[in-house]
Amino acid sequence: MSRSERLLRIEQILARSGRGLRAVELAAACDVDRRTVYRDLALLSELGVPVYQKDGRFSIDRAAYRAPLRLSCDEALQLLIAATAIAKHAHVRNESLDSALRHLTRVVPESIAVHASYRSEMGRAEQSREQGYFNQLTKAWAEHRRVKLRYWTRDRDDAERRSIQEVELLIYFVELMPHGAVYIVGKDSQTGKIRTLKMSRIVDVEVLNTTYEIPLHFDPRPYLARLRENPETASSRRQDAIAGDQG
């Protein structure tokens, strides 16, 4: 493995890690000694990769990180189509999605780029409190950080049956439905069960410092299938029947 290949590998490993890695772990992954890893990490920092060390672990600052992603024109076009659809139907405006759209429009024909920008603005709601929640929750999901949520157990307009509950959640998946609603799928830290919560029912979000790992065998498809069958009731019940070993 050449040094350039090793630098890219270290960058990819750190980008995928939620908790960060120790120098000895990076050395083992690249089959080199720790002194070589330290030199490589220093060079990555000089090249602009936001690497930092905390509690003996090396991580990448995701807020400042720009992934070296190379796409063919066809790949960029397909991503642009998907991102445009999400931007059009989402109930919340997401600055990161807007930025991604701008980047993608730079590598597709101008006529398509202009059309995509126009379509993404159609039907988009104004910025709201939900936008802040969406940004917090997706960032927590990416960083594998636990969240504490307060939410309505029923529709907030159902005065007789509604109440506010609190849950500490390990987010496993965030799903945007075709009708624009956003659902959070994750593990309840108290019960160990998989929960599905509709974001519009959330009234408060607190991102915690404690981290977690998403099980490699976790399969979101059964939960997403139930959402598509009955999105209104799936968000307010525990998915006990299919939780099984996936928690």
Q: What is the CA radius of gyration of the chain?
A: 21
Could you list the mean pLDDT of each consecutive 10-residue stretch along the chain, which spans 247 residues? 89 85 93 94 92 91 79 76 67 68 72 60 55 86 91 64 85 82 90 89 92 87 76 45 39
CB neighbours (10 Å) of residue 163?
8
- What does the alpha-carbon distance between residue 130 and residue 124 come to, in Å, rounded to a whole number? 13
Clarify whether residues 224 and 144 are in a common domain. Answer: yes
Query: Residue 39 sits in which domain range?
Result: 3-60
Clarify whether residues 191 and 241 are in a common domain. Answer: yes
Q: Sort strands 194-198 and 51-54 into parallel, antiparallel or unpaired.
A: unpaired
Clarify whether residues 217 and 200 are in a common domain. Answer: yes
Instruction: Give pLDDT, residue 52.
Output: 93
Residue 66 belongs to some domain of the structure: no
Residue 13 belongs to some domain of the structure: yes
- 39-86 pLDDT, tens digit each: 999 999 999 999 999 989 999 988 788 877 777 777 877 777 777 766
Residue 90 belongs to some domain of the structure: yes
Q: Distance from CA of residue 98 to its chain's centroid?
A: 15
- What does the alpha-carbon distance between residue 17 and residue 114 come to, in Å, rounded to a whole number? 36
* CATH value at residue 24: 1.10.10.10
Instruction: Give pLDDT, residue 243.
Output: 38
Whose CA is closest to 91, among 129, 61, 65?
A: 129
Tokens of 8: 């890219």
Residue 65 belongs to some domain of the structure: no
For residue 21, give the 3-state DSSP assignment. Answer: strand
Whose CA is closest to 168, among 197, 130, 129?
A: 197
- DSSP letters, 85-131, are HHHHH-SS--HHHHHHHHHHHTTS-HHHHHHHHHHHHTTPPPP-HHH
Instruction: Give pLDDT, residue 237.
Output: 45
For the chain, percent helix, then strand, then coil, each to nearest 5? 45, 20, 35
For residue 17, give the 3-state DSSP assignment. Answer: coil
User: Domains in the chain: how many in total?
Assistant: 3
- What does the alpha-carbon distance between residue 205 and residue 133 come to, in Å, rounded to a whole number? 7
* CATH value at residue 177: 2.30.30
- Which residues share a beta bridge with 166? 150
Instruction: Give pLDDT, residue 62.
Output: 80
Whose CA is closest to 171, among 147, 136, 153?
A: 147
